Amino acid sequence: MSEQELTSDVGDTRCGFVAIVGRPNVGKSTLLNHMLKQKISITSRKPQTTRHRILGISSDATTQCLFVDTPGLHAPTGKALNRVMNDTVHSVIKDVDVVLFVVERFAWNEADERVLEALQASAVPILLIINKIDLVKDKAQLLPHIAMLSEKREFAEIVPVSALGGHNLEPLEALIRNYLPQSPFLFPEDQVTDRSSRFLAAELIREKVTRQLGDELPYDVTVEIEKFEQQGPTLHIHGLILVDRRGQKRIIVGAEGDRLKQIGIAAREDMEVSFDCKVMLNLWVKVKSGWADDERALQSLGYSDR
């Protein structure tokens, strides 16, 4: 595709970056996936599932929204992985055209205040997104809560939505478009993310580990793809699940390897949908002590945008 095909006249098109920020587990990744109408960001009920900056690209005839999903901003713990995730959020906030600040129904706590504080210096439009309103039976109860939130700072818009149910997302998209600058498109209209298929494969495996094990494992689990190769109609993927301790390896493998097998089946099914081909997936589990607090290891595993 030529550069001329990628870019229309600047006066005719809008294009800009839209950060999706909020405390852990408020539905940021679910919101991104529904805005794109396909899954590129993994989700689970466990907080801090998202660890990377993930770009989702939504294009129509005149507008290209570049949504940036971010890790949940959380209290510093001293661990390198947590520092990297918080640095990612702060870096994204400084370099976007619009911010979607996602909160959850009637909840407002110290973690939300921490995000609000991070946004204080931002001069771009901030849209406050009140998520999970499908769980609110009496919508009139939202009015005093919205009034309270509107006193926190001057938001460009306050929009109640249900990311999971898709409620009020089309009006939200229309509002976002109004705040984007006039600009040529930065990506081809059929591109959905800047992340590689290899990266998405690793994230799908990590999602299945997180969903199946729930609270049985801490956050010290990551995935490295050792092989990603198309052989005829079949995509061959070798995934290495890295854990911090031997006990964690036993939990993931399970009795006679049953749990690892279930993780592999669920990940392969999602991969075949995402990559639109037959997938042969092989998984292994390896102990790599201290990886989450090793700056060099984090960079090699893709946790740094540098």
Q: Where are the domains of the chain?
A: 3-179, 197-300
Task: Name which of 245, 171, 258 is nearest 212 in CA terms.
Answer: 258
- Where does residue 168 rank: exposed (0-12), middle (13-18), buried (19+ CB within 10 A)? middle
- 263 contacts 209 by C-beta, under 8 angstroms: yes
Contacts of 86 (CB under 8 A, 6+ apart): 71, 73, 74, 76
CATH superfamily of domain region 197-300: K homology (KH) domain (3.30.300.20)
- Where does residue 121 rank: exposed (0-12), middle (13-18), buried (19+ CB within 10 A)? exposed
**Given this model, what pLDDT does residue 77 score?**
61
- 103 contacts 130 by C-beta, under 8 angstroms: yes
pLDDT tens, per residue, the chain with 306 residues: 444 444 444 568 999 999 999 988 888 889 999 999 888 876 666 555 555 678 899 999 999 999 988 876 656 665 666 676 767 777 788 889 999 999 998 889 898 998 999 898 889 999 999 999 888 888 788 888 899 999 999 999 999 999 988 899 999 999 999 999 999 999 999 999 988 899 899 989 988 998 888 666 656 788 999 999 999 999 999 999 998 888 889 999 998 899 999 999 999 999 999 999 999 999 999 998 877 776 776 676 666 554
Taking the C-alpha atoms of residue 135 and residue 105, their distance in angstroms, rounded to an integer, is 8
3-179: which CATH number, 3.40.50.620, 3.30.460.80, 3.40.50.300, 3.30.365.10?
3.40.50.300
